[in-house]
Amino acid sequence: MKSALKNIIYNCKQATFLIEKKLAGKITAAETLQLHIHLAGCSVCKIYQQQSILINQVFVGFNNEDFKLDEAFKKTMKENIEKEINKN
């Protein structure tokens, strides 16, 4: 435990790894404690955590309706479908 704690307290690479694991799955009680201690003393990783959550939110909030096909491509697709039907 002691060395695990020491490992995490100063290790931002490990801390950000635990942040990701926590956000997308779950971490153990020991890992939760390690992360908690790290974040208490590391403002940079705290910013990372906020931004990581924000990225997830923006990613999931993607609005399908903002994307429309251009008419020319639609026309081509329609012609391809017609061609395919007439083959039979």
Partner 1 sequence: MQNDTGRDITAEKLHSDPLSWVEKYADYLYGFAMSRLRDEEVAKDLVQDTFLAGLQQAERFKGNSNEKTWLTAILKNKIADFYRKRSSGGLKELKEKDAVQEQQDFFDADTGHWNEKYRPQAFGLEVDNPLLVKELGAILNECLSKLPGLWLSVFSMKHLDDLASELICAELKLTSANFWVIMHRTKLNLRACLQKNWN
Which positions lie near partner 1, rule CB under 8 A?
10-14, 16-17, 20-21, 24-25, 44-45, 47-48, 51-52, 54-56, 58-62, 64-69, 73-74, 77-78, 80-82, 84-85
State the minimum distance, in angstroms, from the CB of residue 81 to partner 1: 5
For partner 1, the closer CB: 36 or 74: 74
CA-CA distances (angstroms) from residue 18 to 4, 29, 59, 71?
13, 12, 20, 46
Nearer CB in complex with partner 1: 36/82: 82
| Closest distance to partner 1 from the beta carbon of 72 (Å) | 11
How would you write 8-77 as a 3-class SS string?
HHCCHHHHHHHHHHHHHCCCCHHHHHHHHHHHHHCHHHHHHHHHHHHHHHHHHCCCHHHCCCCHHHHHHH
Cβ closer to partner 1: 29 or 58? Answer: 58
